[in-house]
Amino acid sequence: MTQIRDGLTEHAARVTKDGELLTLAIAEPEIEFVSHEKGLAFHLASTYSLTGGEEALSLQNDNADLDIVVVSMVVSTSASGIVTVFEVTSGTPGGTSITSHNLNFGSSVVAQATAFGNNSVTGALSGTTVGAQDIGTSTPHTFDFGGAVILPKNSILAVTFATTGVVFVDLVFYYTAKIAF
């Protein structure tokens, strides 16, 4: 076997008989990498009984150094109605605090985020819609954002239902280096 050796560290790499370096590349989605290597992938779940048009979940990024990337969200309701996902530009979310759970069960990293559930808001929430769907009774709907929804520090994503009854929201997100333009 032919090897190339680093003169400083003495680490070796294998090469072919033609002198080409043998390498291994592992391709995986970014969320798998940040969960495995950094413990920065999280899950939020919210189940509440709403009376219509109310906040079921909100998520605010409190991390000054990293952006939140929203991957997906599953929603369902005990009564059919429209669910809306939007960036909050007016109003202050509130309600019952929700704890984000690390998807890497071996990690002790805690999400630097504020999350609320239920309908206790200060003022009416409004903003730019990033997703809406009319869903049926007990028919889950998945919003697959594929990482396109990004929350820089202090940005807030909220979910409201125009229905009365029990609602469920399950959201997956992770942190990544700030995206500069």
Residue range 88-139, pLDDT digits in tens: 998 888 888 999 999 999 999 999 999 998 655 555 678 899 999 999 888 8
Domain that holds residue 132: 39-177
Predicted local confidence at residue 12, as pLDDT: 80
Residue 119 maps to a domain: yes
Nearest Cα to 58, choosing from 157, 155, 175, 133?
157
| pLDDT score recorded for residue 122 | 56
Q: Is residue 4 a part of any domain in this protein? A: no
Residue linked to tokens 């939020």: 44
Distances (CA, A) of 44 to 145, 173, 181: 15, 8, 29
Is it the case that residue 155 has pLDDT exceeding 70? yes
Query: What sign does the dihedral 13-17-20-25 (CA atoms) show?
Result: negative
Q: What pLDDT band is residue 19 in, cutting at 50, 70 and 90?
A: confident
Determine, yes or no, domain membership for 167.
yes
Asked if residue 103 belongs to a domain, the reply is: yes
Within a domain: 82: yes
Q: Collect all residues with Cβ–Cβ distance below 8 Å to 6 and sequence separation of at least 6.
A: 12
Q: What's the pTM value of the predicted model, to 2 decimals? A: 0.82
Q: Is the dihedral of CA 144, 85, 69, 113 positive or negative?
A: negative
Residue with tokens 């979910």: 159
> What CATH number corresponds to the domain at position 46?
2.60.120
Locate 26 and state its tokens. Answer: 């592992």
Domain for residue 11, yes or no? no
Q: How many domains does the chain have?
A: 1
Bridge partners (DSSP) of residue 143 are 73
Indicate the range of 13-27, 103-117, 145-159 predicted with least confidence: 13-27
Q: Which residues contact 18 (CB under 8 A, 6 or more apart)?
A: none
